[in-house]
């Protein structure tokens, strides 16, 4: 028989994990098709489900539900994060689905991945004896013996903020991906640019972004054509040997051009 265990606090969760090597850490189980024999949920453990809003960032426990984060309100969340959250599934699923589950699902990256990546989110990973912090940019999977224990999301509100889903709405299929563009300007100059894509693989290139930052505004058609060539080259490198259709690739490039056109 399959069972989901609940723990009162984080020490009890680690105690359970230590005593039962087969236990898997889960959130709301909305992603898992075939539940493993024994799981233990982060949801309901206060230390792992809290959301704390600081001046410059948000700390969300992995067990916080998508609905709880949305409840912070559109004006208090980065636009791309709010738009991504509201695009996921439906209100019933969002009441159960956790942010930890959205990040930790292996393989195809889910809807929150690109917004969190563009915002420079940091993950806290905990084992019974160790805590480490890792930028989402370097994250591959939760290491053996660790759980995702906190998600620190910078609260950025840049001038241009674009989130788009590629593929079907409100569900995840092999054709799903997320696109994010953030752009900030100061005195007719581009001072920050972030471009992120996540789905069949993850793409964000600081080298590319640094090459674009500093452009005088408004961007001309020639500027955008040149930027587009650089983006295409970098994206192509990342996409080599990845499962990505020509349609998704083209959509990414169209969205990139559209985003830079907002700065003309
Ligand atoms: C009808 C429907 C529509 C959906 N639409 C979307 C959509 O549009 N976009 C989207 O992104 N998703 C969608 N989903 C998938 C899913 O609901 C979400 O991705 C959700 O955020 C997953 O969270 P969860 O808590 O249910 O994860 P779970 O199913 O509980 O876990 C997912 C994975 O993460 C691991 N995990 C969870 N928490 C931790 C932790 N703290 N430490 C280590 N590992 C952990 C689990 O072991 C598991 O491998 C949809 C699902 C359904 C049923």
> Residue 52 burial by CB count (10 A; 0-12/13-18/19+): exposed, middle or buried?
exposed
Q: How far is the CA of 16 from the centre of ligand 1 (A)?
A: 22
Instruction: Decide: 105 in ligand 1 pocket, CB within 6 A.
Output: yes
Q: Convert the pLDDT of each residue in 140-150 to its tens digit.
A: 999 999 999 99
Q: Which ligand 1 atom is the nearest neighbour of the CA of 66?
A: 21
Residue 43 is predicted with a pLDDT of 83
Percentage of the residues of the chain whose pLDDT score is greater than 90 = 89
Percentage of the residues of the chain whose pLDDT score is greater than 70 = 98
Residue 37 is predicted with a pLDDT of 72
Count of residues in the chain: 264
Instruction: Decide: 148 in ligand 1 pocket, CB within 6 A.
Output: yes
Residue 22 is predicted with a pLDDT of 87
Residue 165 is predicted with a pLDDT of 98
Task: Determine contact, residues 43/27, Cβ cutoff 8 Å.
Answer: yes
Instruction: Decide: 32 in ligand 1 pocket, CB within 6 A.
Output: yes
Binned at pLDDT 50, 70 and 90, residue 1 comes out as low
> Residue 248 burial by CB count (10 A; 0-12/13-18/19+): exposed, middle or buried?
buried
Residue 32 is predicted with a pLDDT of 77
The residue whose CB lies within 8 Å of the most ligand 1 atoms, and thus the one to mutate among 5, 14, 105, is: 105
Q: Convert the pLDDT of each residue in 125-141 to its tens digit.
A: 999 999 999 999 999 99
Residue 252 is predicted with a pLDDT of 97
Q: Which ligand 1 atom is the nearest neighbour of the CA of 106?
A: 49
Q: How far is the CA of 130 from the centre of ligand 1 (A)?
A: 25
Cα–Cα distances in angstroms (integers) from residue 242 to residues 102, 111, 188, 224, 248, in the given order = 21, 18, 38, 26, 12
Res 21 pLDDT > 70: yes
Residue 243 is predicted with a pLDDT of 82
Res 36 pLDDT > 70: no
Instruction: Decide: 97 in ligand 1 pocket, CB within 6 A.
Output: yes
DSSP line for 173-222: -TT-EEEEEEEEEETTEEEEEEEEEESSSEE--HHHHHHHTT-BSSPPHH
Residue 44 is predicted with a pLDDT of 83
Residue 173 is predicted with a pLDDT of 92
């Amino acid at each position: 028989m399959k069972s989901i265990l609940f723990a009162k606090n984080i020490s009890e969760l680690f105690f359970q994990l230590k005593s039962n090597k087969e236990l898997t850490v889960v959130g709301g189980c909305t992603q898992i098709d075939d539940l493993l024999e024994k799981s233990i949920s982060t949801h309901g453990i206060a230390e792992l489900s809290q959301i704390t809003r600081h001046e410059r960032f948000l700390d969300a426990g992995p067990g916080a539900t998508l609905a709880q984060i949305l409840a912070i309100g559109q004006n208090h969340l980065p636009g791309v994060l709010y738009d991504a959250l509201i695009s996921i599934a439906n209100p019933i699923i969002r009441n159960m689905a956790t942010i930890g589950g959205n990040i930790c699902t292996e393989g195809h990256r889910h809807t929150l991945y690109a917004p969190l990546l563009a915002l420079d989110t940091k993950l806290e990973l905990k084992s019974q004896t160790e805590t480490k912090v890792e930028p989402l940019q370097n994250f591959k999977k939760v290491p053996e013996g660790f759980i995702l224990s906190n998600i620190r999301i910078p609260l950025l509100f840049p001038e241009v903020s674009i989130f788009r889903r590629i593929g079907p709405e409100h569900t995840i299929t092999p054709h799903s991906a997320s696109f994010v563009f953030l752009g900030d300007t100061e005195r007719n100059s581009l001072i920050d640019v972030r471009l992120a894509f996540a789905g069949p693989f993850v793409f964000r290139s600081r080298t590319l972004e640094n090459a674009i930052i500093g452009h005088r505004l408004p961007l001309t058609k020639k500027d955008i054509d040149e930027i587009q060539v650089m983006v295409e080259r970098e994206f192509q490198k990342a996409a080599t040997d990845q499962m990505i259709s020509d349609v998704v690739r083209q959509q990414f490039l169209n969205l990139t051009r559209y985003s830079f056109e907002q700065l003309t």
